[in-house]
Amino acid sequence: MKGRARYIIPAVLLLLFGLVAWRIMGNSSSSDTRRQNTPLVRVDQPRRETVITTLRFTGDILPIQQANIYSKVNGTLNRVYVDIGASVRQGQLLALIDTTELSQQVQQNAAKFQNARLNYERTKELAEQNLVAKQDLDNADAAMKVARADYEAAKTRLSYARITAPFAGYITKRFLDEGANVTSNNATLFTLMDIDQLKIMVSVLEKDISLVRLGESATIRVDAFPGNVFLGKVARFSQSVDLSTRTMAVEIDVPNQKPGIRLTPGMFANITLIVREDKDAITVPTDALLKDDRSYYVYVIDSTVAHRKDITVGVEQNGRTEVSSGLTGTERLVVAGQQLIRDGGQVMMQQ
């Protein structure tokens, strides 16, 4: 009996030791499992910074004024006083059409008018003496007025032989040389452009029309002058949406007075239109945003618990997105690891 007791006691002690060890290992394994199932996240606070809302367009630079200068009369192009690239002032003489026939027409019509005027005066004297019928006086008066109109028209046609600039600008094209026969079919002589101020026409999408207002600033860049920024302003709306493109034409005026640099019509431009500037906007990293069928949302941390916050987003710039509503700016925001957590779940914050 004593011999059996000698073996039973150590066996019982060994069994008890094994049970204790198994419980300790089990508790340790459970704790490790819970730790491994708690997501590790990185947190940061939202920022307050200036957010600028812009619209970007491309377009061609156009002159503020442009006109094809032409002759209204037929004849030989007698003299050409300017060439392409010439700067001209308003009213400056550009070309002269041969005036031989036109001068003769003026003289003929002057003589007819003089004769009709004299005939009217004689008829008037006779009418005052009741020697002619009043109808004769009326006919003489009408003939004189027709002759005067013909005379004035002839003088006007003669003035058309002097081709002058309707406004100040630059001659960008010359079509005919001296000696060319000018007719009403090929009467265009020059193209004149005013480039002291330019304009750019852009097409604004229907959904963005409400964002654009008269007087808003625009920045313009062209490939011809890399690194240079030109400033313009919204000047005109077409006030009509193109049904085929669902866009509205908007014109931007651009002063062309930058020292040493002159923009020219026909250049291709990239336009940035600043439509809103918020100097105290809440922004979050764009990578922190999540989206489902309800809305955009982020996770914020309260102690060690993650909570979903539905938000309204605005402009995205430089890797950050504006939050229009849903955050106060003081939250601890999950910026990494948010895909692994759930609303109300425990998290571990990266130190």
Q: What average pLDDT does the structure give for the chain? A: 85
Over range 31-59, report the average pLDDT: 77
- Residue at 85 is within a domain: no
pLDDT of 31 reads 44
CA–CA separation, 321 and 301 (whole Å): 20
pLDDT at residue 7 above 60?
A: no
Over range 194-202, report the average pLDDT: 93
pLDDT of 10 reads 60
pLDDT at residue 26 above 60?
A: no
Residues 323 and 269 in one domain: no
Angle between helices 100-128 and 134-159 (to 10 degrees): 160
Q: Give me the amino acid identity at 116.
A: A
Residues 268 and 208 in one domain: yes
Over range 102-109, report the average pLDDT: 92
Over range 206-220, report the average pLDDT: 90
Percent of the chain with pLDDT over 90: 44
pLDDT of 86 reads 93
Q: Which of 1-5, 130-134, 158-162, 206-210 has the lowest mean pLDDT?
A: 1-5
pLDDT of 19 reads 61
Q: Give me the amino acid identity at 271.
A: I
CA–CA separation, 214 and 237 (whole Å): 8
pLDDT at residue 110 above 90?
A: yes
Domain CATH for 239: 2.40.30.170
- Residue at 24 is within a domain: no
Identify the domain containing residue 125 by its residue range.
99-160
Is residue 188 within 8 A of residue 89, CB to CB? The reply is no
Sole residue written with tokens 């890399």: 226
pLDDT at residue 247 above 90?
A: yes
Residues 261 and 300 in one domain: no
pTM (predicted TM-score): 0.65
Domains contained in the chain, number = 3
pLDDT of 34 reads 46
Domain CATH for 345: 2.40.420.20
Over range 282-293, report the average pLDDT: 88
- Residue at 171 is within a domain: no
- Residue at 155 is within a domain: yes
- Residue at 179 is within a domain: no
More confident residue, 145 or 288: 145
pLDDT of 6 reads 60
